[in-house]
Amino acid sequence: MADLLDLFFHEHGIPLTGETKTRWEHQLERIAGAVFPAATEEQILKLLRERRFVVLEGPPGTGKTRLAFQIADRIGSATKVQFHPARTYEDFVVGIFPRPIEQGLAFDVRSGDLLVANSAAQEHEHVLILDEINRADLARVLGEAVVLFEVGETERSVRLPQTPDGHNQDLQLSPNLLVLGTRNTADRTIARMDIAIRRRFAFVSIWPDLEAVIKEDVDFAIKAFSDVIHTFVEFADEETLRLIPGHAYFLDPRPDLDSSGRSDRVANRIRFELLPLLRHYLDEKLCGPASEAIAGLADRTEVLLLEH
């Protein structure tokens, strides 16, 4: 009966205090932990070293890029690349680029990011970070090099169309080379990854972390995030669940500043980042059967900010 009363008070906006507040937060953590299992840095690092080619995928604001960079720091040697629609095979593998000279133009064969990272991995472990990996046309960017992304085929090689100085014409990936990508599951403007490419990577889902918001101890942010979690879990289908905003939208964007302004900074983040994201989902009709519930969520969040 006590739990039912707690739930009633919470859903009707009556502030919880003391032991009731603590019990409710623990209950929320259990719900979030069951629906959104956490992947730890240690687990991902272990998988990366076993599987070599891994992608962290999840909704916006779940810390995928930050986690990838933290793992790169653990490894101690990294090449970091931001993928985008204009990225080409010549940028990533090898290409011929013009260079101005007095008489006109000269043409140089240049190593792309993959060759640079592979050279760095000859003597020691090195990770190639591919941020937002699915924003580029991967089949076009990888070209024939895609066949090298096989975890158990360390002796496989491909012949390069051009050979940069210091490289062999036959490219073979070093066993020390690890590739860690990130992918935003909410970005539906981007084509899905080709199955032939997707099967070469292991995928780790990165979900919102309620504990991170609770630790920051900004009451209205905890309330807003719990509302997000409950709304998406209750009303979203599997496709819409991939849109759920992550914990970053409820955290202080400038923890280096005076803590007295934390509450206002978090409120501004919710107002100017989270609410526009929810409105974008609704405007683009991305929410499916959860549209009405998510519209209500946006309205409740606005009211919560006004009360703050």
pLDDT value at residue 182: 97
DSSP, residue by residue, 249-282: GGS-S-TTS-GGGHHHHHHHHIIIIIHHHHHHHH
Same domain flag for 274 and 140: no
pLDDT value at residue 77: 95
pLDDT value at residue 209: 92
Q: How many C-beta atoms lie closer than 10 Å to residue 252's C-beta?
A: 18
Strand pairing partners for 80? 129
Same domain flag for 188 and 292: no
CA-to-CA distance for 277 and 286, rounded, in angstroms? 11
Strands (E), the chain: 53-58, 78-82, 94-101, 104-111, 126-131, 158-159, 170-171, 177-184, 202-205
What is the tens place of the pLDDT at every residue in 171-230? 999 999 999 999 999 886 555 677 888 899 999 999 999 899 999 999 999 999 999 999
CA-to-CA distance for 124 and 129, rounded, in angstroms? 16
Tokens 């919710």 belong to which residue? Answer: 270
Q: Is residue 185 part of a domain?
A: yes
Q: How many C-beta atoms lie closer than 10 Å to residue 233's C-beta?
A: 15
pLDDT value at residue 4: 47
Is the predicted pLDDT of residue 14 greater than 90, yes or no?
no
Res. 243 pLDDT band, cuts 50 70 90: very high
Taking the CA of residue 93 as centre, how many other CA atoms within 13 Å lie in the half-sphere pointing to its CB? Answer: 23
pLDDT value at residue 191: 53
Same domain flag for 55 and 160: yes
Q: Is residue 271 part of a domain?
A: yes
- The encoded tokens of residue 252 equal 């202080």
Provide the CATH number for the domain around residue 91.
3.40.50.300
CA-to-CA distance for 234 and 232, rounded, in angstroms? 6
Q: Is residue 303 part of a domain?
A: yes
Q: How many domains does the chain have?
A: 2
Q: Is residue 27 part of a domain?
A: no
Same domain flag for 152 and 217: no
Tell me what the pLDDT averaged over the chain comes to.
88
pLDDT value at residue 101: 78
Is the predicted pLDDT of residue 6 greater than 60, yes or no?
no
The residue-averaged pLDDT of 240-259 equals 93
What is the tens place of the pLDDT at every residue in 115-126? 999 999 999 999
Please give the DSSP secondary-structure letter assigned to residue 197: H
Tokens 């937060």 belong to which residue? Answer: 25
Domain of 187 in residue numbering reads as 41-205
Same domain flag for 196 and 247: no
Is the predicted pLDDT of residue 1 greater than 50, yes or no?
no
pLDDT value at residue 46: 97
